[in-house]
Amino acid sequence: MLVPKKVKIVEVGPRDGLQNESGTVTVDLRIDLINRLTRAGLPAIEAGSFVSPQWVPQMANTAKVLENIIPGKGVNYPVLVPNLRGFNDALTAGAKEVAIFASASELFSQRNINCSVAESLDRFAAVCSAAKVNGIRIRSYISCCLGCPYEGDVPLNSVVKLAVRLLAMGCNEISLGDTIGIGTPNRAEALVDAVLAVVPRERVAVHFHDTYGQGLVNTLAALQRGIAIVDTSVGGLGGCPFAEGATGNIATEDVLFMLNGLGVSTGVNLEKVVDTAHVIFAALGRKPVSRVARVTASYGMRIQEK
């Protein structure tokens, strides 16, 4: 099977995962989660976001999180910013990488960030200009690439046009998100192929939710197209506060188990990730949704690292 020899895992649990929690998520809990993921060897860990606590209360005090985590050597800790004000707050907090969030769906953009796609791009252009001046790396997400909870099907051309704009703004990495987890492998392949026609392969990531149980096979389909950056969430944390019914991102440990079996290098310790999944879900009062975490908990199995 032709897949990349090395894959970068971008851990999104501390931001994209926890932002959907209904209960209280303390700053100390977020710090501990990030430190555990750092020790597990994750090369990129979303540390939070600088959005209004009114809209995403779980991400309040991200500046305190950045101030108190123990950074790993060579590890990136991107934070989501919705506009120039958020970028300036992130810069003041010492962030070295920011992420922006655009939608391929007009209605989702309106519901999610209260503006049209065109207006969002104007905001992000200002962010990208400021990031370039300050030497800050930019990661961009495109949501609803394979479907929208309000519009249904989203034309691939909408995704491609958005990717071109984001690349031109100076984004270092473009993550293609199946926000409601409705994609299947053939559609994932078509999405990746369409974007690769206009964006260099090394700048493309995939971000699959597992609503219909298709996250892992969609990831494999992208890997077979040469994609070597995959967004995952420890234990399967997450969902989307603006897409009712969408479940979490594909679980980090499930992806790692597959990649280990394929002989793909990640530099991540699977057993430590599984342990982290159990710790964070215990703190949240429930069990991990990932297959690997459930199996190890039920049968006491240990993971054999390669």
- Count of beta carbons in the 10 Å neighbourhood of residue 186: 10
Q: CA 235 to CA 277: how far, in whole Å?
A: 5
* Residue with tokens 């280990």, as numbered in its chain: 260
Helix axes 215-223, 185-196, angle to 10 degrees: 40
- Set 128, 144, 148, 240: catalytic member: 240
Q: Are 201 and 176 in contact (CB under 8 A)?
A: no
Q: Where are the beta strands (DSSP E) in the chain?
A: 8-11, 44-45, 48-49, 79-80, 97-103, 137-143, 173-178, 204-208, 229-232
> Does residue 240 have an active-site annotation?
yes
Helix, strand and coil percent figures for the chain, each rounded to 5: 45, 15, 40
Letter for the amino acid at 66? L
> For the chain, give me the number of helices (H) and strands (E)?
11, 9
Catalytic residues: 240
